[in-house]
Structure 1
C-alpha cells in the first residue's frame, strides 16, 4: 500500500518478516517494462512510444490531417 512496504494496509512503515504477494504480472511493451501487480491495485492504461499528436498536421490550406 502507499502507507507500507508490505501488502497489509494495517502494517505501517517498513515492517519486517512479511511476504509480498503478487497477484498479476503485466507486460508494458511500449514502455519496455514488466509490471508486478500486488493486491487490488488500479493501473492506468499504457501509452504508445510515439504519441498520436505527432501525426497531426495542418497544411498551407488549413486542412488538418492525422486526427483519425
Structure 2
C-alpha cells in the first residue's frame, strides 16, 4: 500500500493490518509494516524468549570456558 493510500484510507489500513501485516511504501520503497497488536505482542514475547535463551546459553558457555581454564 502506498503512503498516500494509507493516509487517505487509514481505516482500511487498520482493517487490513488486523488480518495480516501491511507494508506501506513511499516512492515505491517499503518504509514501514503495520501489524495488529496481537501480532506485535507475539513478536515481542518471541523476541524476549530468544534473548533469554541466548543469555542462558552464553552463561553456560562461559561456565564451561571457565572450567577448562581452571
Q: Which has a greater percent of strand?
A: 1
TM-score, structure 1 as length reference: 0.32
Structure with bigger helix share is: 2
TM normalised by structure 2 equals 0.31
